[in-house]
Amino acid sequence: MPVTYTDITPAALDKTLTLAAQAFIPYKNTSLQARRDFLYAIAAGLEADRDGLAALAAEETHLGIDRLTGEVNRTCWQLRSYADAALAGHPLDCRIDTALPDRKPAPRVDIRKMMVPLGPVAVFGSSNFPFAYSTAGGDTACALAAGCPAIVKAHPAHAATSERVAGIVSKAAAAAGMPEGVFSHIHGAAFEVGKALVLHPAVKAVGFTGSTTGGKALFDLAAGRPDPIPVFSEMGSVNPVYLLPGRLAEAAPAVAAAYAGSITLGVGQFCTNPGLLIGIAGPHLDTFVSELAAAIAKVPSATMLHPGIAKAYADNRATALSQKGVTLVAHGTGGPEGLATLARTTGATFLANPQLYKEVFGPYSLLIECADAAEMLAIAGKMEGQLTTTFIGSETDYRENPALVEALEQHCGRFIFNGIPTGVEVSPAMQHGGPYPATTDSRFTSVGEDGIRRFMRPLCFQQFPEHLLPDALRDSNPLKIWRLVNNQWTR
């Protein structure tokens, strides 16, 4: 029998956030080593309960055990890599400009700068990643690595999993002697809870992964505070894929096979799911479409994350398919309409109907057949901000379409050459973000260690004696971190 969680009361929320605020200074002042060990302990706790966590999440999310076990592993990797980055001092981004007492016309005083944490961070867990972008997921790991207490609002669709993960985090915090309030976990199915969280004076930044409506609402609330705070909302995208003839001529079946997998992976419930496939009419595109259609037709139905998502998918798919000039090419097995879906339209139809740009969250993709390269360029020019954009083409295609390449770069955070957008590497070079409406601030990422920077700000120390400076800024560099000293990187 599913456990029911009650929304936190305003009084309890205030108490929780007061504790988080009180935890900030002591937590910020823990050593990088202590913070690293804390994050490692969370990872170890998750690993120790991996099977139990995966089984519980499978019940709540209907994602498979293998995927969920892999996601626990990924979450542990994330926690450890951000912990390593914090220990290595990358997020501190230290700059030291030593005094120039003899400079003319005026001497330069000693100034040194490092990044410091912003304060308590509110994290809104996502529905589609019950581990990696939820309770102990990317935003929480970034906040804790930065030195910020985290307050996580569980996603109601996997509240029990969230609660179980929160228990592991809290246990690790207590064992590591971290201040009470360094991590808090709350439930709140009602929007009012999220609203109160974002508006509370103790909260200094927000991380969110979810819908455009939800992410934008939190952004607006934060911008309207007496003291506006930064919100990084990752709101998904249609991740357009541009199919150029040169590559399809070489490998249409292989590309189709890769995309059948990418479109339907995790029942299509990824932020990086390829929702639009844009090709140029011709025999190679026809081959690609028929291969893709054949693969999609074999994909069995599956249960989506929660009934709300399943209903939205059914509704949005029906709306998309009912648009004039849109035809159904193939759907998967199981039930009269299957689940995985490939639809098709022309470039002219697409350009004329803004409804077709909208994301259909799930295993749905729309193939757009352009009359020519000019029409493809026109579509690229109208595209909104995206997490990813993919160029499927030969090197000649790439070189011969510079205007298209420029247009694609302008609208995405990650630009992929002959690959698939699903599968987001957790490493320093990753960018999981993009121009609005993919996110609310294209200058940051929610995946990879640079995500830690969302929750930090620079603090400059001027004319401080060496022994009063933070360790990170001392001449002797006791933390052995990379720093820009008098404009040269050095360790």
User: Looking only at residues 390 through 449 of this chain, which bind its own copies when binding is defined by CB under 8 A?
Assistant: 395, 398-399, 406, 409-410, 412-419, 423, 425, 427-431, 433, 435-437, 440-443, 445
Q: Are 115 and 457 in contact (CB under 8 A)?
A: yes
CB of 159 to its own copies, least distance (A): 29
- Taking the least distance from each CB to its own copies, the nearer of 171 and 399 is 399
CB of 210 to its own copies, least distance (A): 17
CB of 119 to its own copies, least distance (A): 8
Using CB under 8 A, which residues numbered 9 to 28 contact its own copies? 25
- Taking the least distance from each CB to its own copies, the nearer of 318 and 459 is 459
Using CB under 8 A, which residues numbered 185 to 204 contact its own copies? none
Identity of the amino acid at 4: T
CB of 406 to its own copies, least distance (A): 5
Q: Are 376 and 392 in contact (CB under 8 A)?
A: no
**Neighbouring residues of 360: CB distance < 8 A, sequence distance ≥ 6:** 275, 313, 316, 317, 320, 366
Using CB under 8 A, which residues numbered 314 to 373 contact its own copies? none
Which member of 71, 234, 359, 369 is catalytic? 234
Active site residue 76: no
Q: Which stretch binds its own copies (CB under 8 A): 124-132, 237-245, 352-360, 480-488?
A: 480-488
CB of 157 to its own copies, least distance (A): 26
Q: What are phi and psi of 460, to 5 degrees?
A: -100, 135
Please tell me the number of Cα atoms within 13 Å of 37 on its side-chain side. Answer: 10
Q: Which of 311, 462, 475, 480 binds its own copies (CB under 8 A)?
A: 462
How far is residue 407's CA from residue 70's CA, in Å, rounded to a whole number?
Answer: 35
Q: Which of 177, 460, 475, 480 binds its own copies (CB under 8 A)?
A: 460
Q: What are phi and psi of 282, to 5 degrees?
A: 160, 175
- Taking the least distance from each CB to its own copies, the nearer of 13 and 430 is 430
- Taking the least distance from each CB to its own copies, the nearer of 225 and 311 is 225
> By CB under 8 A, how many residues form the interface with its own copies?
75
Q: Which of 116, 249, 281, 378 binds its own copies (CB under 8 A)?
A: 116
Active site residue 47: no
Q: Tell whether residue 380 is a contact of its own copies (CB under 8 A).
A: no
Q: Which stretch binds its own copies (CB under 8 A): 113-121, 158-166, 316-324, 363-371?
A: 113-121
Query: Site map for its own copies, 68-107, x if CB under 8 A?
Result: --x-----------------x-x----xxx-------xx-
Which member of 142, 148, 271, 412 is catalytic? 271
Q: Tell whether residue 65 is a contact of its own copies (CB under 8 A).
A: no
- Taking the least distance from each CB to its own copies, the nearer of 5 and 482 is 482
Q: Which stretch binds its own copies (CB under 8 A): 110-118, 157-165, 301-309, 332-340?
A: 110-118
- Taking the least distance from each CB to its own copies, the nearer of 55 and 109 is 109
- Supply the angle between the helices 159-175 and 32-48 in degrees, to the nearest 10: 140
CB of 336 to its own copies, least distance (A): 36
Using CB under 8 A, which residues numbered 202 to 231 contact its own copies? 219-220, 223, 227-230
Q: Tell whether residue 465 is a contact of its own copies (CB under 8 A).
A: yes
Instruction: Give a three-class secondary structure readout of the chain.
Output: CCCCCCCCCHHHHHHHHHHHHHHHHHHHCCCHHHHHHHHHHHHHHHHHCHHHHHHHHHHHHCCCHHHHHHHHHHHHHHHHHHHHHHHHCHHHCCEEECCECCCCCCCECCEEEEEEECCCEEEECCCCCCCCCCCCCHHHHHHHHHCCCEEEECCHHHHHHHHHHHHHHHHHHHHCCCCCCCEEEECCCCHHHHHHHHHCCCCCEEEEECCHHHHHHHHHHHHCCCCCCCEEEECCCCCCEEECHHHHHHHHHHHHHHHHHHHHHHHHCCCCCCCEEEEECCHHHHHHHHHHHHHHHCCECCCCCCHHHHHHHHHHHHHHHHCCCCEEEEECECCCCCCCEEEEEEHHHHHHCHHHHCCCCCCEEEEEEECCHHHHHHHHHHCCCEEEEEEECCHHHHHHCHHHHHHHHHCEEEEEECCCCCCCCCCCCCCCCCCCCCECCCCCCCCCHHHHHHHEEEEEEECCCHHHCCHHHCCCCCCCCCEEECCEEEC
Q: Tell whether residue 35 is a contact of its own copies (CB under 8 A).
A: no
- Taking the least distance from each CB to its own copies, the nearer of 342 and 405 is 405
How far is residue 314's CA from residue 334's CA, in Å, rounded to a whole number?
Answer: 14
Q: Tell whether residue 109 is a contact of its own copies (CB under 8 A).
A: yes
CB of 21 to its own copies, least distance (A): 11
CB of 457 to its own copies, least distance (A): 4
CB of 433 to its own copies, least distance (A): 7
Q: Which stretch binds its own copies (CB under 8 A): 31-39, 112-120, 283-291, 361-369?
A: 112-120
- Taking the least distance from each CB to its own copies, the nearer of 331 and 414 is 414
- Taking the least distance from each CB to its own copies, the nearer of 277 and 426 is 426
Residues designated as active site: 234, 271
